């Protein structure tokens, strides 16, 4: 009787071993497949008169927005521009005016790629625009705090997030803390200009 049971037990044990061995292998394989498909996200270094900030961009979510931003970066458009609108507890905005507060000539506006996938959280960078959804050109802002009311669908089409600060958030906070006033009909302008000295694309890291 015992002899007749043992082959069955051996078969069950063998099947259990095969089943347990199969699950981890497929799980690891699936993880590996997902990792190998990941896109290397571009980074830029923004050097300001108060320090440097490194931004990681998200072309996987906002491709046209990132392409537009990188075009301005590689053209040197942002060099010697300023953060012209600074509101502590909200955001810092730049990318459109010279140190003399002259508006720079930009390219054509782009489509608004605001998405529920990327929210206006502290440290994210978004495109500034007028009341028209598809009016963003070169200007951007960095959220100093979570600004959920700027997200797509909360109060309309929203503002397109296309990256985040990965180094130098203390610089963003320092910029947000500068003294501001009125200049040339604009409010919240830093009394001492906060200059974007240059913006460069960093080498991709594998």
pLDDT in tens, 151-197: 999 999 999 999 999 999 999 999 999 999 999 999 999 999 999 99
Q: What is the pLDDT of residue 61?
A: 96
C-beta of residue 103 within 8 angstroms of C-beta of residue 120 = no
The pTM (predicted TM-score) of the whole model is: 0.81
- Which run of H or E residues covers position 104? none
Nearest-angstrom CA–CA distance, 15 and 136: 61
Q: Does residue 205 carry a pLDDT above 80?
A: no
Residue with tokens 């500068």: 178
On the CB side of 45, CA atoms within 13 Å amount to 8
pLDDT in tens, 94-150: 999 999 999 999 999 999 999 988 999 999 999 999 999 999 999 999 999 999 999
pLDDT in tens, 54-101: 999 999 999 999 999 999 999 999 999 999 999 999 999 999 999 999
Q: Does residue 37 carry a pLDDT above 60?
A: no
Paired tokens of 75: 């053209």
Q: What is the pLDDT of residue 3?
A: 43
């Amino acid at each position: 009787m015992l002899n007749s049971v043992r082959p069955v037990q051996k078969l069950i044990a063998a099947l259990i071993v095969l089943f347990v061995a199969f699950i981890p292998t497929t799980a690891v394989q699936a993880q590996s497949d997902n990792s190998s498909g990941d896109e290397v996200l571009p980074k830029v270094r923004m050097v300001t008169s108060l320090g440097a900030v490194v931004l990681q961009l998200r072309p996987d979510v906002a491709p046209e927005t990132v392409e537009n931003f990188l075009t301005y970066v590689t053209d040197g458009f942002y060099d010697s521009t300023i953060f012209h609108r600074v509101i502590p507890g909200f955001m810092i905005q730049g990318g459109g005016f010279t140190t003399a507060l002259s508006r720079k000539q930009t390219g054509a506006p782009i489509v608004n790629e605001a998405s529920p996938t990327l929210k206006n959280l502290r440290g994210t960078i978004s495109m500034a625009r007028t009341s028209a959804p598809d009016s963003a050109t070169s200007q951007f802002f960095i959220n100093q705090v979570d600004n959920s009311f700027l997200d797509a669908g909360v109060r309309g089409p929203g503002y397109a997030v296309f990256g985040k600060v990965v180094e130098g958030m203390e610089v963003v906070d320092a910029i947000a803390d500068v003294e501001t006033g009125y200049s040339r009909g604009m409010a919240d302008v830093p009394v001492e200009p906060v200059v974007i000295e240059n913006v460069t694309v960093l080498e991709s890291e594998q």
